[in-house]
Amino acid sequence: MSQVRVSGCAALLFDLDGTLIDSAPDLAGALNRLRALKGLPPLPYEALRPLVGSGARGMVGAGFGLQPGDDGFEALRDAFLAEYQARFLDETRVFEQARWLLGELEARSLPWGIVTNKATRFAEPVVQGLGLDARSAALVCGDTTPHAKPHPAPLLEAAARLGVPAGECVYVGDDLRDIQAGRAAGMRTVAVTWGYLGVGEAVTDWGADLVIETPQTLLKWLDLA
């Protein structure tokens, strides 16, 4: 993992949930509302937060022990998404680290975009509701291209929309799939430790070019500070 400063960055691309925004309270809340409807007690927020990056699949797995292909999974997934859609901006906020970083990028006229596995029907209203839509130069969602992360297609689509070569983009995320997608797209990759991080390998083992605890570290690495 390199700590050498990097120059020649033309744009930054960001994952959404766990990187730019903290949506875990609303996603965990949706799961526990669904559990309540099924007569089950709530699960601790602390146990659910690391799983948010895996989306509805992870939430339904944690809440009901079912995986794609299991009987009843699709019905519970759809019910979970309905609960989430009803109140997906109750507690979701932009991370303070991300708020500061985006302001610094904009002050330097460095474009940035969003690449998320969140479906368009959720991502667009969330991004709009948080006031990020007018600031982001691109929004590529989980259903924008035929493939979602860790496939590189969404990141390559975002680079094309920005008119920037993929090799001049940096992708920032909080999940192993983010780093895999960025590397496959030929981008430099950054993992943020304020995100959800999932379960399994430690963030330092993902193969990111840089792991950061603060956004100031990223600016220094990009030779912008």
Largest CA distance in the chain: 55
Q: Does the annotation mark 15 as catalytic?
A: yes
Amino acid at 143: D
Sort strands 93-94 and 21-22 into parallel, antiparallel or unpaired: antiparallel
Return the DSSP state at 205.
G
Contact indicator for 43, 63 with CB cutoff of 8 Å: yes
Catalytic choice (17, 22, 26, 178): 17
Q: How far apart are CA 22 and CA 8, in angstroms?
A: 30
Catalytic choice (15, 22, 178, 209): 15
Amino acid at 39: G
Q: Which residues are catalytic?
A: 15, 17
